[in-house]
Structure formats: C-alpha cells, structure tokens
Amino acid sequence: MKKQIVTVLAFSLLGLRAVFAQELVPLFELETLAERDPAAALPQVEAALQSELATADLRTAFDLTSLRVAVLTGLGRPEDAAITAAMLAGSALSHRDLLRIDPAPFLQDAAERAQALGAFEDAFDLYEALLAEMIDGARADREIADVLRQLAQLAREIGDEAVAEAYEARIAGLRLTAPQTPNFAGAAQIAAQNPYGLRGKTGGFATMDVFYATDRERTGKTAPTSFYGAGRGPLEVGIATVTVPHSHTPGVLEAPAIYRLEFRPNPTKHVVLQSVVPVEADAFFNRMRASFADRPEREALLFVHGYNVNFANAARRAAQLAYDMRYPGLPILYSWPSRGRTTGYVADTAAVRLSARRLTHFLDDIVAQSGADVIHLVAHSMGNRALTDALELMALRRGVKAGDTPVFGQIVYAAPDVDAGLFRAMMPTIAPLAQRMTLYASEQDWALSVSRRLHGNVPRAGIGGADTLSDERVDSIDMSQLGEDMLAHSYFADDTSAIADMMTLLWQNASPNRRCGLQQQAADASVWLYQSGVCADRNLVELLAHMRAAKAQTPAEATALLREKVEDAELAATLAPVLENMLSD
C-alpha cells in the first residue's frame, strides 16, 4: 500500500492531476453503462481494473471489482460472479482501515452466492468469517442467530451433524427479541453527567442515536450495514444507533486496521453502526421532542451526505461529526440513494435531484414537529444539490424575503458539487432562511476536479483557490491548505481544523474574523483562507466543548475556564487570544 500512496503523491507532485481527472471521467459513467448494456460494460470494467488509476487507488479498484460482480450477475454468469464476490469480501477484510467499510455485507453476499451454487464448504467458511465479524462487533443476537442457522444448515449439507447441532445449541443461548426502538425515558441522569447527549459510558465506548430520514429502498436484510441499499424507495424515518469508542480521535472515522492486528469492528476501538430501526412518523417526532428533556440545548443538526456514500457510512459520519464537535443537540441524517461506489457518479446525479423534493418536505416537518429551537444544516459534496434545491423550493413555498426571521441557524455547504453559477443564482432566494451561510472549498479536491470535467469544464461551487466562489451572502472558506484526499474529499470532517471552525460557527454564529486561523482575502471581502497550523486545533476542540457546556459567554469567563482546564502555560497563551476574539462584542 505504501507503493500505491507514493504513486498517488508522485502524480500530484508532477502536476498531473489533470491526467487522473481525465481517467476518472469515463470511470464515473461506468455504473450507468453497466445497467444499460452489461455486455459492453464488462470489457471496460476489466480494462479499468488493469489501469494505473486502479493500481494507485485502492478504493477505485474495490469499487470496480464490486461493479464487476454486478455486471457478471446481469450477464447470467453466477459462477464468475461468486468467485469475484469472494475476492471482494477478502479485500474488504484485508483493507477495511483504508476502505472504511464494514466487510460483513460483502461476506454475506459471497456466502449466499456460494451456497446457491452448491459450494457448501466455501459458503461455510464465509459464514464462519461473518459470524466472527458479528460477535466481535457486538451485533444483535438476532443477527448472530441468522448466521448460526445458516452454518447449521451448511454443516448438514456437508455431512457433519455434530457441528450442526453445536451451532443450534448456541442459538438456544441467545436473546432473540425483536428490535426495539431506542428508549429515551429515564435518560436525564445520563445527560446530567454528559452534556453532549451520549447515551452510554461503559465498555469503552459511547452510544449515539442518530435520527434519520431516507428514501433508500430496503434490501430485506436485517443487518444494519445492509438494511438499506442504493435503490429508490418511499421516504421513511427511524433511529440509527452508532457506537463511538472513548479512544476516538477527533476527525477520524475509525475502522479496524490490519497493521494493528485488528481484523473486525470492535466498538471499543471503532465507529460502528449497531442498529437501524424504522419507526412511524408520529413516533419519530414524539421521541425527538421528548429527547430534548435530556439535553442542555434544544438544537438539532441535520447532515446530508455526498456522492459515493452508503447508508451505513452516512450514519457513522453523522455520529462522528456530532461526537467530534461535542454537539449538545440532536444529530439528524438525511440519506439519499447514493450507489456508494466511485463508478456510480452519473447514477447518483439522477437520484439526488429526486431526493431534493422529499428533503424539502422533511425540512418542513423538522421545523414544525421536532421541538428544536435552532436547526443547523450541513451538506457535503453532491448532497448540496439536494439541499440547495430543497431550500430553494422551501423559500419559494414560504415566500421568505430579506429581513424575515431565519428559519434555520447555520447552513454549511461543504465541498458543494453544484454548478457555481447556479449556486450563486440560488443564494438570494435561499439566504433569508439562514442566520448565516458558510461554504467550505478546496482546490485540492479531486472529486470536484473530475465533476468539473464531466460538466463541460464549468466551475463547481466547492472548488477553492483562484476559483473560490464569491458572494456577499455566503462566507466562503478556502481550506486548500488541509491537503488532498483523492476522492474522499471529506476534509470538513476528517480534520480537526474544520471541526473546530464548525464548532465555533454553530455555537457562537461567529463571523470569519472572530474565528481562528482565517485570513481575509485582500481582493474579496467574502472569501477567507484557512491557514493550517495557526490554531491548536485538538486542544481548541476540547476547550470549546467545555466552554459551551459551562455556558461561557464573556472573555472573562473563558479566561477562568482556560486557567482551570489548561495547565500548559504556553498552550494557554496560544488559546487565550483565540477565545477572547471569539467572545468579543
């Protein structure tokens, strides 16, 4: 993998970003071709798997292999599809730390394919690996029981009755109750000890409930990581439970790393989606309102994920953001049916626009029924297409105008994959809905560079550098100094610099000149450049969390808290002017 990273860096240093971007353009369109004409798509998938790009980027290679499984299935080649699915599951197990995925759905898919072909011993081995994943990941007993039943059945097919009976005996010791909706009753004692809304403090991890709405189609599977797929479905709501380890590092979405000899998700070490429970709309909003009784502030933060994100990773990211910012309000996720593959870009562009129509009405419901006094919105990447469309429709429906009381607190557009001209044209309509609007951009964003090529070289709103969008209604922050991350482009959540900035923004509604590390561009008052290394980011994150919990509102209160919490005199001297500037009138 080191060789792969060096290859990527070499391309960057040689100024060959455009070469990679050009290679990615046909790759982004492969999913659509595979659905329309799998026979024509297969040789292109095979060629892409042999390309220098696939060699350099593990996630690209993984997504191409996943697409190969789908294409082979569509062509009626189940044996080849099963072999490729097993290879994919092996890659998911070996490289989960870099891919940031849960191998369980891939193991289950490979096992089911092998079983259907009568390859019972191969299926048995795959189900055993899946069982180990579920046990170490603290999955629900009902999910473990399903795997044990499959193992017992396969043991009989192989001819080993003793093993079959042993697995059935293990089922008898499990608690096989139906999934329960999270219960918020009696949680006030937890909130008194923990102002950030985390429900558990035992076993080395905290448990967070993420309220969600999605128009993804259910897969029919019960495992939380594969409960929702990439197909379109009716809008439904529910509660996803995510565990975050106490050892969690802000800005990191922990997954097991093979170099640390970690082979499965462990809630004491990794961010894990534990359960997904759909509920009726009335119960959903009743529980949302009731949960505010256990929290110090009646706030909510709604997150809309971007391109190439499945439901499980979207839920994990929403929980990580709230946890890292020590957010005292409710985290809410809107998940649209992204394919969750690099190759699905064009398919995602079609899905996201329909989701905007559903999101706009969900926003109405959140405003009317959540019980929140303040609602913040954060969208990432292509999710900004859904959010901007939804907000424009909402503004027109409500007839809002400049000077009206804002409906929302902060609206944050992170790496928006939206036509820059269209984005700018929508701002006059949307602006009255928000207390403040912020745009995070980067000229190091690979995904947006490819998107620009796909759209006739028309600038995207999230591109930074010389093309950073300028509009008096939006504070544009150029985060290019945070570096590049190939197609993940999640710098807004993967770096404590951006997390500290968002914490200040959501808590204080602070203008850029009152936040740490931002320098105004001389030529444009609405554009700011983030200076990496200026702020003591991780220390600032922790101190901001203490300040908000203590309701510090003046420089004097901040100084007193600084003396109490920070023993290092040099660090205190660095943080003092930051706090004073933030809380100054």
Q: Please state the separation of Cα 205 from the chain's center in Å.
A: 19
Give pLDDT tens digits for 259-278.
Answer: 222 233 444 556 788 889 99
**Alpha-carbon span 29 to 164, nearest angstrom:** 46
**Alpha-carbon span 240 to 332, nearest angstrom:** 10
Q: Taking the CA of residue 95 as centre, how many other CA atoms within 13 Å lie in the half-sphere pointing to its CB?
A: 17
Burial class (CB in 10 A: 0-12, 13-18, 19+), 131: buried
- Would you say 98 and 59 are in contact if contact means Cβ atoms under 8 Å apart? yes
By three-state DSSP, how is residue 278 classified?
strand
Which two three-digit tokens encode residue 74?
Answer: 């569509």
Is residue 294 pLDDT above 90, yes or no?
A: no
* Per-residue pLDDT, 566: 84
Q: What is the DSSP letter of 459?
A: P
**Alpha-carbon span 435 to 507, nearest angstrom:** 12
Give first-to-last CA distance, the chain, whole Å: 51
* Per-residue pLDDT, 251: 41
**Alpha-carbon span 154 to 163, nearest angstrom:** 10
**Alpha-carbon span 238 to 295, nearest angstrom:** 20
- Would you say 470 and 476 are in contact if contact means Cβ atoms under 8 Å apart? yes
- Would you say 423 and 461 are in contact if contact means Cβ atoms under 8 Å apart? yes
| Residues β-bridged to residue 413 | 379, 439
Q: Is 188 left (phi over 0), alpha (psi -120 to 50) or beta?
A: alpha
Burial class (CB in 10 A: 0-12, 13-18, 19+), 126: buried
**Alpha-carbon span 71 to 45, nearest angstrom:** 9
Q: Which residue has the higher pLDDT, 408 or 137?
A: 408
Average pLDDT, the chain: 82
Is residue 10 pLDDT above 90, yes or no?
A: no
Is residue 298 pLDDT above 90, yes or no?
A: yes
Residue by residue, DSSP assigns 361-409 as HHHHHHHHHS--SEEEEEEETTHHHHHHHHHHHHHHHHT--TTSPPSEE
| % of the chain residues with pLDDT over 90 | 44
Q: Which residue has the higher pLDDT, 453 or 545?
A: 545
Q: Of 76, 89, 334, which is closest to residue 228 (Cα–Cα)?
A: 334
pLDDT band at 487 (very low <50, low <70, confident <90, very high): very low
**Alpha-carbon span 212 to 228, nearest angstrom:** 12
* Per-residue pLDDT, 109: 93
* Per-residue pLDDT, 532: 78
* Per-residue pLDDT, 176: 62
Q: Of 24, 305, 331, which is closest to residue 182 (Cα–Cα)?
A: 331
* Per-residue pLDDT, 138: 65
- Would you say 517 and 528 are in contact if contact means Cβ atoms under 8 Å apart? no
Is residue 379 pLDDT above 50, yes or no?
A: yes
Give pLDDT tens digits for 175-220.
Answer: 665 444 443 333 333 333 343 333 344 446 778 899 999 999 999 9
Q: Of 468, 486, 27, which is closest to residue 460 (Cα–Cα)?
A: 468
Q: Which residue has the tokens 């100094």?
A: 481
Per-residue pLDDT, averaged over 239-256, amounts to 60
Lowest mean pLDDT among 335-344, 451-460, 547-556: 451-460
* Per-residue pLDDT, 8: 39
* Per-residue pLDDT, 419: 93
